[in-house]
Structure 1
């Protein structure tokens, strides 16, 4: 069984526990490049960078960071996590990622999503009421662009007509495009019916809660005549690593609570994070992967087996941690966790 293990990040810039001060955006972006370069040297399979337009995340243009990373790396797979299609032009998306691919030479992926934060709708002049329609139309356009050099597009409610125009530069092969979702059945059905790989953001509840969605994805894909062997199922979950298991769990609570509490203040259906809830999330059945290498590796294996995943991204970290600690966590992941998980699945059918 071939599996891929990567890291995801949003370039978090929340206040650090010891200083109470946040890392500046420019410093965090420079740190990110060092982190990606280290992951590449360690043989980690992928690095995925999210798009946000808010103060507590440094990356609003993941394609720029990915382009810089492409020039500094040799093997690692580079992806957005996600490209928020409702508030961006799909033609520009293709052009940007095709340009990155000229440097990365086949190591680039677009992870398309609707976006879990909505600031970009106001910034770029879109109506939040069109949330789903925007995504559907722009995803269809992006897929059409990816199919061939000459674009014939009838136009729609949100996109202009394009009559026999070439979109450049072109990649040697179509760009890999996957669909990211927080757990929507509609997104699951959409990805499966289109034959797109899917990435689940599993950040709450228990591991097994996503199994019905995975089963739905496979069922719809089969009924739609899609080839599931070309449609890897992935998950991304929050996590943290240290050589000391208890220290990792203790240290990760502060940044996690900080971010969850901030989001909770903005969303009526979210609640602040208590320490008891956090401990439940880092337990065997929870979906936060904090601990030493053995604990995290065993939990990744468990999730991948239960859900039938072939790709997993450890979001490291979810709130800001000192750069040296992040590098240490990446090193543990690359040297100890990744080899153990891959060895386990090596002889699996």
Structure 2
């Protein structure tokens, strides 16, 4: 159902990083089965009237989703309405030309429903895998994003830099159905990244995974100022945050907490995250950026966040660590059929 909030249509979606799932006995399922289940989850997202389904690139055993565009192509063949995209594509360790070609091909297969969210890579396992030096982290993204902006115009590209071969007036194919691939830049809090996205005319996706989301209002305002200074019409702002929905608040928290705790303990060992307690979890659910609860609770909190940031889009990152596929499917169903209608209605009446 299409409705508007501000200058742009309201978009409510879900995305996944391809976290491994477990069977009825609690044992991990195989990676091939896990990937096939993502296709079923994408199909259910459309059946539940959601607007977007995204898959985020990862290259680790716990998240073996290394080629999300292929999985999205399988979903495209079984759907007709929902938009499909990355969440995110790690542009810094990829070739912008190949990224554009893959998602332009997805756009053809889906009859114009593809989009891409580009990121620098908060998870950096792809850098050593593909031979990139983390010392070049900023330069890789800045150069490749500038090239992608030129590719998106779908005209012959003349470009030179230090991160790939030069392009002396080369045309890249295929072209997209609409003449320009919808492109977002995922930002986790860096003001320079916000300004860069605005300068290139890319929509802004705020990745808010902890703390009070209202603190990102300064980035939303900075983005609006930067797009105006670039002479551009207002561009969409979206929010990506984790969460889980069940029939009641207590059920949602009891389903989510065990795997959330495990995931955060692993993140602490690997990336130096702070220690996570149940008290911290409860605080994040009540005041922070974990959208965990009943449909009524989650809808209220989503509306509060979107209003505070002036965002017209909200993507729920479902699943956190090894959860049962059936639980994830119910989460998607409830978010689409119970949460999304409440969000759209409450935003329309504001």
Q: TM above 0.5, one fold?
A: yes
Alignment partner, residue 302 of structure 2 = 300
Q: How does 1:270-281 map to 2 (within 5 A)?
A: 270-281=273-284
Quick check: 1:162 aligned with 2:167? Answer: yes
Where does the alignment leave 5 or more consecutive residues of structure 2 unmatched?
A: none
Q: What do the CA deviations read for 1:228-250 (whole angstroms, capped 9, x no partner)?
A: 1xx11111111001112211112
Equivalents in 2 of 1:294, 1:81: separation in Å? 26
Following TM superposition, by how much is the alpha carbon of 1:42 offset from its aligned partner in structure 2, in angstroms? 1.6
After TM superposition, list the pairs within 5 Å mapping 1:1-349 onto structure 2: 1=5, 2-13=9-20, 19=25, 21-153=27-159, 155-172=160-177, 173-228=179-234, 231-268=235-272, 270-283=273-286, 285-348=287-350
Measure, in 1, the Cα distance between the counterparts of 2:232 and 2:170. 29
Please, what TM-score do these two structures have when normalized by structure 1?
0.94
SS where residue 175 of structure 2 aligns? coil
Separation in 2 of the partners of 1:242 and 1:330? 10
* 2:53 partner SS: strand
Structure 1 distance, partners of 2:349, 2:251, is: 33
What is the SS of the residue equivalent to 1:109?
strand
Secondary structure of the corresponding residue to residue 323 of structure 2: coil
- Is the 1:256–1:319 Cα contact (8 Å) retained in structure 2? yes
Distance 2:210 2:218 in 1: 15
The alignment yields a C-alpha RMSD, in angstroms, of 1.5
Q: Which moved further from structure 2: 80-89 or 204-213?
A: 204-213
Q: Give deviations 1:26-83, integer Å, cap 9, x for gaps.
A: 1111111101101111210001110011111021111111111111111001110111
Aligned mates of 1:21, 1:265 — CA distance in 2: 23
Instruction: Give the CA deviation at 1:321.
Output: 1.4
Per mean C-alpha deviation after superposition, the further-off stretch among 68-77 and 163-172 is 163-172
The whole-number CA distance in structure 2 between the counterparts of 1:207 and 1:142 is: 29
For residues 276-334 of structure 1, what are the alpha-carbon distances to aligned partners after superposition, in whole Å with 9 as ceiling and x for unaligned? Answer: 00000000x21100111000111111111111110000111122211111111111111
Answer yes or no: is the 8 Å Cα contact 1:97–1:110 preserved in 2: yes
CA distance in 1 between counterparts of 2:241 and 2:316 reads 5
Q: Is the 8 A contact 1:14 1:255 kept in 2?
A: no
> Take 1:26 and 1:293, find their aligned partners in 2: how far apart are those partners?
31
Distance (Å, rounded) in 2 between the aligned partners of 1:131 and 1:343: 42
Q: CA deviation at 1:145?
A: 1.2
TM-score by structure 2 length?
Answer: 0.94
SS at match of 1:12: coil
Do the aligned residues in 2 keep the contact of 1:198 with 1:233 (CA within 8 Å)? Answer: yes
User: In 1, are the aligned partners of 2:21 and 2:34 still within 8 Å (CA)?
Assistant: no
Q: CA deviation at 1:150?
A: 2.0
Q: Whole-Å Cα distance in 1 between the matches of residues 195 and 141 of structure 2?
A: 14
In structure 1, list runs of 5 or more residues that go unmatched: none
Higher deviation after alignment, 243-252 or 143-152: 143-152
Cα contact 2:21–2:325 (8 A) shared by 1? no
